[in-house]
């Protein structure tokens, strides 16, 4: 099963329904083509990067989740990409601030990184797995790459959307208006 590696606190926001955007510039291992959302459906693989608390707009006292004591990974969320857009205008990207947790300085750093300024934005609908996918760590899950192949979901696993269809569509429409596009 394919999974998208994302900071654990962003995964928590996606799973709580407080965020529906995934923003990505690309990792070191993305190659010459750079990053793009090449899968419409994927699991959200939370990563525990220790500096993420300082690089996100979070309430005071927010702490990073602790890794499992057994050294295994636990995946509880899946995402479906409704639409994507490459944002190459800094002011437009700034206007998206109410729809994500990233601190402006971190987004600007990523936006301006590389030869071309821009960020890939995906509007996702997130669902909670009826039972978590738990699996042992492996070197194949490390490194600066966005995508990872994970074991299959447990038999009988179902998905429950974290936002209603109406709430998700209203948020999508609001973001599309900020991007200046009615339909994507």
Whole-model pTM: value is: 0.91
Tell me the per-residue pLDDT of 26-53, one tens digit each, with 9 for 90 and over. Answer: 554 445 555 678 899 999 999 987 778 8
Indicate the range of 19-33, 37-51, 121-135, 160-174 predicted with least confidence.
Answer: 19-33
Q: How far is CA 97 from CA 21, 94, 100, 157, 180, in A?
A: 10, 6, 6, 34, 15
**Where do the structural domains in the chain lie, given as residue ranges?**
2-179
Under 8 Å between Cβ of 45 and 3: yes
Q: Enumerate the β-bridge partners of residue 25.
A: none
Query: 166: part of which helix (H) or strand (E)?
Result: helix 165-179
């Amino acid at each position: 099963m394919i999974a998208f590696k994302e900071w654990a606190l962003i995964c928590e926001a996606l799973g709580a329904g407080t965020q529906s955007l995934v923003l990505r510039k690309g990792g070191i291992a993305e190659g010459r083509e750079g990053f793009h959302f090449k899968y419409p459906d994927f699991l959200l693989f939370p990563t525990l990067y220790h500096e993420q608390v300082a690089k996100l707009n979070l309430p005071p006292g927010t702490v990073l989740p602790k890794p499992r004591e057994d050294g295994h990974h636990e995946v509880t969320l899946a995402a479906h990409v409704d639409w994507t857009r490459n944002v190459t205008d800094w002011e437009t990207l700034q206007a998206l601030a109410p729809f994500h947790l990233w601190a402006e300085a971190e987004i600007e750093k990523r936006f301006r990184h590389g030869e071309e300024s821009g960020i890939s934005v995906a509007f996702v609908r997130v669902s909670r797995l009826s039972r978590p996918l738990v699996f042992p760590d492996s070197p194949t899950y490390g490194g600066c790459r966005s995508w990872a192949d994970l074991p299959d979901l447990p038999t009988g696993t179902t998905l429950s959307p974290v936002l209603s269809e109406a709430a998700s569509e209203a948020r999508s429409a609001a973001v599309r208006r900020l991007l200046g596009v009615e339909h994507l």
